[in-house]
Amino acid sequence: MIDKTVIEAQNAMRTPDLDRDFDYLGEKLDRRGIDINQMVDRAKEFGLAVPSWGTGTGGTRFARFPGPGEPATIFDKLDDCGVIHSLTQAAPTVSLHIPWDKADPQDLTAKAHQHGLAFDAMNSNSFQDQPDQIHSYKFGSLTHTDAATRAQAVEHNLECIEIGQKIGSKALTVWIGDGANFPGQTHMGRQFERYLSSMKEIYKGLPDNWRLFSEHKIYEPAFYSTVVQDWGTSLLTAQELGDKAMCLVDLGHHAPNVNIEMIVSRLIHAGKLGGFHFNDSKYGDDDLDSGTIDPYRLFLVWNELVDAENTPGLDLAHMIDQSHNVTDPIESLMISTMEIQRAYIQAALVDREALAGYQADNDALMASATLRAGFRTDVDAILGRARLSSGGAIDPVMTFRASGYRAKVSDERPIANGAGGGIV
Ligand code: RM4
Ligand code: MN
Ligand code: MN
């Protein structure tokens, strides 16, 4: 994969600067009563899941422009995920999408273990028709008016659980595109009832130590109404299903300016926050790299999570869900991994006691300044030191470029077809 000697040589070049930056930041944090080494430990313990589908070049509904050396199989994708983890040391798991990633479970686990990886949540796909499929999802899947079509979609989700059990996954994420393009096209109430009864069938097949994540999204592919369009619907679903059902928040699935951190707070309050799909967006479900458009919002989400980190039962799945249309997907996923980790550490720096005091005194100015002090702190040296001491790269992107990995796999992997649009 990535030659250890390349990582070492790259790190050797950067270690003197890192050491200086680290010492200075340590001194500054000390003045704030923060032990920098504790922050390094936090950064080292942090881990998230990479989406297998994010390792390929994405596209819009207009076009897709493939890059060189794209992964052709799930095993290529796992190799790429191995690279991301070896350089960042912060992405130890992979989230699979079925049927895109269907393969012999033993081969999947063998390949994952080779890279020190494990599997996070399984993702079902009833938003596309597969070649061998009997009933079409054109007019819906879990909510379709036809019982046989719903049963087929339920069956598919149960199969995802079955595959997941064989590879050590413990969760299923359900996102459906069902909805309507025209007012009057569907009866919104009855459609939701059909959704709930299908989800109950899936829930019945969930092993005891598994969780079912319900993922909401405001629109697309349905443009008038979407069945699970908001966190309210997602929460209703999770509450109706039972204890193993939780809500998953994809940061890109809200209208612009929606206060996502407040949604996070509400779901924590309800005991129903299960996990995230991290990405960034400007207009809709843009699936841009995390922290590249609105890093402050990412920080504010993490602020809620750090604030609630000792909540009994809170066990979150941190996953990325992005589409990389113009960048090298490995580089984008590494940048996102580090930006998510950065927001987490910045949130951990917030002086929560002082913040609570200012909130109690209604000192709005100092409360917001206390919060921003975390966001304004450059924690690069903490992240770099965490990676270095775990065997990763101080600068993953530059090390990746120096490794020649992309050129090497370009020679080995078949050239991807560039014609169509779409996410994968
Ligand atoms: C959706 C949603 C799902 C993802 C698909 C590919 O917009 O974010 O999580 O599985 O895209
Ligand atoms: Mn998602
Ligand atoms: Mn999405």
Ligand 1 atom nearest the C-alpha of 220 is: 7
Q: From 125, 215, 276, 290, give the residue whose CB has the most ligand 1 atoms within 8 Å, as the site to mutate.
A: 215
Residue 79 lies in a domain: yes
pLDDT at 414: 84
pLDDT at 11: 98
- In this structure, the residue with its CA closest to atom 1 of ligand 1 is 175
For ligand 1, whether the C-beta of 217 sits within 6 Å is: yes
Q: How many residues does the chain have?
A: 424
Q: Which ligand is nearest to the CA of 175?
A: 1
Q: Which ligand is nearest to the CA of 101?
A: 1
Q: DSSP readout, 353-399? A: HHHHHHHHTT-HHHHHHHHHHHHHS--HHHHHHHHHHHT--SSHHHH
> Residue 58 belongs to a domain with what CATH number?
3.20.20.150
Cross-strand pairs, 163: none
pLDDT at 277: 98
119 neighbors 169 (Cβ within 8 angstroms): yes
- In this structure, the residue with its CA closest to atom 2 of ligand 1 is 175
pLDDT at 417: 66
Residue 285 lies in a domain: yes
Residue 379 lies in a domain: no
End-to-end C-alpha distance for the chain, whole angstroms: 24
**Helix, strand and coil in the chain, % to nearest 5:** 50, 10, 40
pLDDT at 422: 53
Residue 201 lies in a domain: yes
pLDDT at 423: 59
Ligand 1 atom nearest the C-alpha of 248 is: 9
In this structure, the strands spanning 49-51 and 93-97 are parallel
For ligand 1, whether the C-beta of 289 sits within 6 Å is: no
Residue 204 lies in a domain: yes
Residue 366 lies in a domain: no
pLDDT at 24: 98
Give me the numbers of helices (H) and strands (E) for the chain, helices first please.
Answer: 15, 10
- In this structure, the residue with its CA closest to atom 5 of ligand 1 is 175
- Ligand 1 centre to CA of 304 (Å) is 24
- Ligand 3 centre to CA of 5 (Å) is 38
Q: Flag residues of the chain having pLDDT under 50.
A: 419-420, 424
Domain span at residue 268? 47-349
Residue 19 lies in a domain: no
What the block records as the tokens of 390 is 């775990």
As for how many domains the chain has, the answer is 1
